[in-house]
Amino acid sequence: MFRFDAEKSVHFCDGMRRRDFLHAGSLGLLGLTLGDFLALKAAGQVDPGRDVNCIMLMLVGGPSQLDTWDMKPDAPAEIRGPYKAIPTNVAGIQISEIFPRMAKHADKYALLRSVYHTGAGVHDVGHQYMQTGRFFQFGNEQPHFGCVLSKLKGPKGDAPPHVLLPRPIGNTGGNLPHGQNAGFLGKTFDPFVLNADPSDANFQVPDLLSPDYLPPMRVDGRSSMRHLVDNAVSHLESIPDARLLDSNFQSAYRLMSSESARSAFDLSKEDDKTKERYGRNRFGMSCLLARRMIEKGVRFVTVNMFETVFNEITWDIHGSAPFSPIECYRDLVGPMFDYAYSALLEDLHDRGLLKDTLVLAMGEFGRTPKVNPAGGRDHWTNCWTTLIAGGGIKGGQVIGASDEIGGYPKDRPITPPDLAATIYKALGIDIETAIVGASNRPVPVVDYGHHPIAELF
């Protein structure tokens, strides 16, 4: 993110000490990788003819497969739960009654009902694995899919290549990273984070600057952010060593001052009817922003449905405080997702964007097949459902199946690395493409032995 006053000074080559104008992480917005991109293009590892974008909806908390997209209506009550299965617009596919709008769009998405992993049933582990395709190991954080895309393809115009909405995942009970930054690729390729609630009545177009960096500046309330940028630019341009920043600096300033890039964040351009369709809540408005950003040239948008699982109604239905009751799927969480997801698919389809925009909706794991004594379900990594649509994916189908209690894959088991391979294929990136990993060793974007889910293409 952009920063005008860093905590530490830096040395220019003339030995003078200067305050940072741009935080090192800001270069991630620039995606300064044209050379990388051209080299990979020449090697056939990046498909220049497949310019697909992606919106990833991270369903923080872990949705229950048995109460959402893998219903077991003939199972005993303690397995099937409180919700009924309803038909969709695709014969033979049923989903939960909490998603009546989604049921009308089943032809647009595919259900992967046999996703599983063998790691710990901890939120942080699942977040990292599902968003990177690898576990956090030996202190090495793996890069998020959007960050890899940022490195390999860079930005389109002035827009940042990867944006995260509305805020990063916070405390979910563990002490591991959540897999939402560039990891070993370095802060250069971190996403731009909105750090604001777009459903807030006072939400305004951000100045593409992190609010966390503003307090040290003691900015006078009468000074506009643009005035601040202009002053900083004038000061930096007066320093002879500014030439060292060259095109990096020019690109950074162009992004901050770009009307097109800023307009992607401007929800005032959307009418009330559209906002109602998405839902006037944090997740709904974040999905609407995601659509706007794709239209304005952002390559990858990550949307966190929730920031934590504590003292907030989420998918994490253990049944007792500080977690959520299973009834919240019917009363709040289900409708929230149903509105936003359906409106997003509708809009992308109607605007001709769905064919070039991969839309993922996934949690970090599923829930236990049997309802617990508190009336909820606990963490379960052995089987759950993930949704995938757009970007050349064939909708209207179910891939994989769970057993009769929704506890384990019965056929076509799918692991997070398999899903990672599928995502990269859809984005036009060869899964054997090498990126520089820990200890400066090249590693493929997906571990060997894992392949895209062929039935989707």
Contact 365, 92 (CB under 8 A): no
Reference 123, options 375, 387, 315; nearest CA is 315
pLDDT class of 47 with cuts at 50, 70, 90 = low
β-pairing, 162-165 with 300-304? parallel
Pair of tokens at residue 449: 């032995």
pLDDT at 2: 37
Confidence of residue 205 (pLDDT cuts 50, 70, 90): low
Task: Give the pLDDT score at 245.
Answer: 44
pTM of the prediction? 0.82
pLDDT in tens, 238-271: 555 444 344 344 445 555 667 777 888 889 899 9
User: How much is the pLDDT for 14?
Assistant: 35
As a whole number of angstroms, the distance between CA 192 and CA 3 comes to 12
- Nearest C-alpha neighbor of 425 from the set 447, 395, 456: 456
Contacts of 4 (CB under 8 A, 6+ apart): 20, 21, 209, 213, 217, 228, 232
Average pLDDT score over residue span 310-336 = 96
Task: Please state, for a pLDDT cut of 70, what percent of the chain lies above it.
Answer: 77
Query: Of 95 and 6, which is predicted with more confidence?
Result: 95
Give the per-residue pLDDT at 232.
Answer: 58
Report the share of the chain in percent with pLDDT over 90.
67
What are the tens digits of pLDDT across the range 429-441?
Answer: 999 999 987 678 8
CB 65, CB 384: distance < 8 Å:
yes
Give dist(CA 190, CA 177) in Å, integer: 14
Contact 97, 335 (CB under 8 A): no
What domains are there in the chain, each with its CATH number?
A: 1-30+207-264 (no CATH), 33-206+270-456 (3.40.720.10)
Handedness of CA 221, 224, 225, 230 (dihedral sign): negative
Residue appearing with tokens 């009363």: 331
Q: pLDDT tens, 113-138?
A: 999 999 999 999 999 999 999 998 87
In three-state form (DSSP H/G/I as H, E/B as E, the rest C), the secondary structure along the chain is CCCCCCCCEEECCCCCEEECCCCHHHHHHCCCCHHHHHHHHHCCCECCCCCCEEEEEECCCCCCHHHCCCCCCCCCHHHHCCCCEEECCCCCCEEECCCCCHHHHCCCEEEEEEECCCCCCCHHHHHHHHHHCCCCECCECCCCHHHHHHHHHCCCCCCCCEEEECCCCCCCCCCCCCCCCCHHHCHHHCCEECCCCCCCCCCCCCCCCCHHHCHHHCCCCCCCHHHHHHHHHHHHHCCHHHHHCHHHHHHHHHHHHCHHHHHCCCHHHCCHHHHHHHCCCHHHHHHHHHHHHHHCCCCEEEEECCCCCCCCCCCCCCCCCCCCCCCHHHHHHHHHHHHHHHHHHHHHHHCCCHHHEEEEEECCCEECCCCCCCCCCCEECCCEEEEEECCCCCCCEEECEECCCCCCEEECCECHHHHHHHHHHHCCECCCCEEECHHHCEEECCCCCCCCCHHHC
User: Before 166, cis peptide (omega within 30)?
Assistant: yes
Instruction: Supply the pLDDT for residue 225.
Output: 52
Is 110's pLDDT higher than 60?
yes
* Inter-residue contact 192 to 164 (CB < 8 Å): yes
Kindly report, residue by residue over 229-245, the tens digit of the pLDDT. 556 555 555 555 444 34
pLDDT digits (tens, 9 = 90+) for 152-191: 999 988 889 999 999 999 999 888 899 999 999 988 899 9
Measured in whole angstroms, how far is the alpha carbon of residue 201 from the centre of its chain?
Answer: 24
In contact, 335 and 98? CB cutoff 8 Å: yes
63 vs 236, residue with greater confidence: 63
